[in-house]
Structure 1
């Protein structure tokens, strides 16, 4: 069963890159043919370009520049690759070590939250649900309870980030 687009963006925002890896594996040969035909790139350079473009796409999703999945993802990514080529962006510029480390720590701390807290924060921050909708999805009696739960969960995540690294268990308070 295919993953809904909103779920894909949510997974990307919390650091799960499986979708991008699968896309790369399915599309790299087709992309290499396109890059060869349009830009005379050999397959190894085309594969590197696709990897870099997918990482750029991931960064745009993670930092909020992309809030909706493009209708034609392949065309969107090819356009991003075209822009990289036109701008002569060097290949394989990894994230700075500090940023990569920060993202990994934040993902690990997010995963320490209870499943309910992860769900509440995902609904609010990554899917953009308003409190009424989030309350309905989570089974809360009203929007005020949803707002309080989001606040409690955000506080728990903030505490984890600030120094308390003990896993939080149990249900949402």
Structure 2
């Protein structure tokens, strides 16, 4: 069996995709069952995923990232599919996670005093340098503005950390 695999790699490098077409035809139903069982994927979606994985595999062979066929090709390709599905899941969760993080930060920001809110707004959102912040806030000089900004930022981080500690027990599953 090793000899046909070595030949298949040579044929793939020359652009002959017969090996991949045959692999797809021979394994598409098995792959669809695996994708349904492991990842709740519909057959049509699973077939598209298998085609995408085979194209990625072909690209690896062509550009030299893969110099020999793995001992268990099916396992290797299923692993590639697993990675793609995990990446899709992670990417889908990012907007929700980011929105939650921003809400936490906004709540903590609201707990800061008015002067701290103003200093941070001037510096981070309006892009004022420390001299301009000092002038707007009535501080003696830019060094005082820098120290005030650092102090306010430290308070914001502490408020957010306390809020996260308070949320941690409620977000864990009940036993």
- Scaled by the length of structure 2, what TM-score is found? 0.49
- Pick 1 or 2: higher relative contact order, CA cutoff 8 A, min separation 6: 1
Point out the structure with max Rg over C-alpha: 2
